[in-house]
Amino acid sequence: MQITRLKNIPTLLSSLLALAGCASFRQNADEVLIRDPSIGSYSTPSAAQSTAKLHWEYAAMSENAYQEGRASAAAKRTEFTRTQQYSDDFSEKAFADACADERKGIPLRGWGRWDFPSKNLQARMLKEGMYLEVLEREEEPHTIVVVFEGTNFTELPDWKANFRWFLRFIPGFKDQYTLVAQDVAKEFFDAISSTPEKYRIDLSSGKLVSKTGEPIRIVATGHSLGGGLAQNFAYAFKQDPIESRGPKVSEVFAFDPSPVTGWFSVPDPPRSYNAEDLVVNRVFEHGEVLSYIRLLTSRFAVSSKNPAIWEYRYNFDIDANIIGNHSMRRLACGLTRLAQPWLQE
């Protein structure tokens, strides 16, 4: 990780001024501000449709994961309750109906859901208030996405994970980040390495490919706490043996993400190798509650490479407060309206 560090109080004061300055940019609902990691500052507002087309599906996945996670928690079982079949109706009306009714998932087309993780790990995850799912689309570009549910305000284990900066020094402390780094990453690696009829590891490049040799992208995504867990999964991705240079996550889409990523809790190796060439996209709504914490902490540690952290600021609702602006559904539906997937038939 290439990091620029601040060393004095004047720089801290300048960072606070920069924070205020970023907040003062005028930005319309169809515009985006982009922070290029090689530059370290935000661009002026520009048309957002092209970036929305890159972000909307991962935003929809992150929003839909909340519905499945809440259903699993409410069922009080030892395994996930998966009731949602994603609609492939890509009409404009279908998207409008989904965004008007929080009980409906946002349509997704061409994605199949894995039977993952194991029942044993599902039970342990549910004890920690945690839900994830793995989606795969085999059409080009062949992509596997690990989707992490974010914070449910009534789930105490979610808050334990959110406050891990302060709690992780307690002897024996374990939380959702622990499960991701130690168990989820390993089970996922085992799943792809033990299915030779579908996947194989190209020994020359170390990348995951299909049985016919086509490259397969591995992506992680999530909202809020889920965005932090997605980054942690990328850093902790299992390598076997630990020194090997095998497949890894190529990109993370973290929406309104937690500033907690578990970077320093991941052993190295494999952390540095997994972070090499990794792209982390932090996508957020202007004024959402965690954006101010991230902006302040980023002034102390700005990663320009390995991983390269890009930031995209949207402004879909100028009237919402810092909590309302943290809504994943609002962000996902705003991105969908801009991307207009119903025109991409």
**pTM of the entire predicted model:** 0.89
pLDDT, position 15: 47
Look up residue 338 and give its two tokens. 């801009």
Task: Inform me whether the pLDDT recorded for 106 exceeds 60.
Answer: yes
37 compared with 4, residue with greater pLDDT: 37
Can you say whether the dihedral through the CA atoms of 51, 52, 54, 60 is positive or negative? positive
pLDDT, position 1: 55
Residue spans of alpha helices (H) in the chain: 9-24, 49-75, 92-100, 119-127, 156-162, 164-167, 176-179, 185-193, 225-236, 271-275, 289-298, 328-339
Angle formed at CA 106 by CA 103 and CA 112, multiple of 5 degrees: 115
Residue in 334, 278, 253 with CA at minimum distance from that of residue 55: 253
pLDDT, position 218: 98
- pLDDT class of 339 with cuts at 50, 70, 90: very high
Please tell me the distance from the alpha carbon of residue 70 to that of residue 80, in angstroms, as a whole number: 10
pLDDT, position 279: 98
pLDDT, position 25: 64
Q: What is the mean pLDDT of residues 174-178?
A: 95
- 119 burial (CB, 10 Å; 0-12 / 13-18 / 19+) is exposed
Q: What is the mean pLDDT of residues 138-162?
A: 90
Task: Inform me whether the pLDDT recorded for 230 exceeds 80.
Answer: yes
Q: At what angle do helices 49-75 and 225-236 cross, to 10 degrees?
A: 100
pLDDT, position 299: 61
Q: What is the mean pLDDT of residues 287-298?
A: 78
Q: What is the mean pLDDT of residues 207-217?
A: 95
176 compared with 70, residue with greater pLDDT: 176
- pLDDT class of 301 with cuts at 50, 70, 90: low
* Most confident of the following: 17-21, 39-43, 310-314: 310-314
pLDDT, position 81: 80
- pLDDT class of 31 with cuts at 50, 70, 90: very high
pLDDT, position 203: 84
Task: Inform me whether the pLDDT recorded for 10 exceeds 50.
Answer: no
Strand bridging mode 2-4 / 132-137: unpaired
In this structure, are residues 64 and 145 in contact, taking their beta carbons and an 8 Å threshold?
no
